[in-house]
Amino acid sequence: MGSKNKLRRFKDNETFKNVIQPERDDIDKGTFALRGKWAEHFKNNNPIVLELGCGKGEYTVGLARKNPNKNYIGIDIKGARFWRGAKTALEENLENVAFIRTQIELVDLIFDQSEISEIWITFPDPQIKYKRTKHRMTNQSFLDKYKRILKPDGVVHLKTDSEFMHGYTLGLLHGLGLEVIYANHNVYKNEGSPEEVLKIQTFYENQYLEKEKPITYIQFRLN
C-alpha cells in the first residue's frame, strides 16, 4: 500500500464515527473514557464481542451482519488495514460495529472487568521462535488479560492456519485445567464446526485455502 493511500485512510479514520483511536497516555493512566462504558457508545446493553488483531475486519463485520443483537469491536494497531472494515460497516449502516486502534496487550485497560462476552482471535502470528513466546496471543499472560475482561461464562475462539499455534494453545489450556468446548484441526474436512467458523473467511484465510493449508479452530473458556 502506497504512503499516500495510507495517509488518506488515516484521515478517513479520523472522521469515521465507528473508529476510536485512544491516546496511549489516557490508557496508561486509566482515564480512557469508554472503559466500563461501552454500552453507552453502542447505546444498548447487548453483549460485546471482540476480534483481536482484526486485520481488514472481515470477522468483525461478518459476525455483525449475522448477529444484530450483539456489538462487535475489532482491535488492531494498523488503522490503514481495518479502514476497509470500518468503511464497509458505515456503508451498510451496521450500528453494532466499532474499531479501536491500539495494541492488543492493552486490552484489559480498554475494557473493564466482565465487560466482554466473547473474544475472537483470527489468524494471529504464531510467533514460533521460543524468544517470541511472550508475543503469542494465547500465552498465559494474554489469557489472564482476557479472563479479566470476560464475563464468567465468556468464550474465546481461536481460528488459525498454524498447526503449531493450535497445538500450543490446546496444550496450554489442558495444562491449566481450562475448559475446551470444541476443537477441530481441519474445519473444512471434519464436520462439526460452528457455522460462523465456516461461513466467514478472511483475506488471508482464502490465501491459505488456495495453498490447501488446514484451518484449525478451538473454542474455550477461562473460568
Question: Which grid cell is 149?
Answer: 475482561
Using a 10 angstrom Cβ sphere, with 0-12 exposed, 13-18 middle and 19 or more buried, the burial of residue 184 is buried
How far CA 95 is from CA of 42, 66, 98, 99, in Å, comes to 7, 13, 8, 12
CA distance 142 to 145: 5
Residue 167's nearest CA partner among 156, 154, 155, 180 is 180
Alpha-carbon distances, residue 57 vs 10, 51, 183 (angstroms):
16, 8, 24
Choose among 21, 197, 187: nearest CA to 118.
Answer: 197
* Cα 137 from Cα 215, distance rounded (Å): 17
100 φ/ψ angles, rounded to the nearest 5 degrees = -120, 130
Mark whether 25 is an active-site residue.
no
Rounded Cα distance between 34 and 56, Å, is 23
Grid cell 489469557 is found at: 143
Assess contact for 142 and 132: CB atoms under 8 A: no
Contact 83, 21 (CB under 8 A): no
Q: Which of 108, 125, 144, 161 is catalytic?
A: 125
Q: Which residues are catalytic?
A: 125
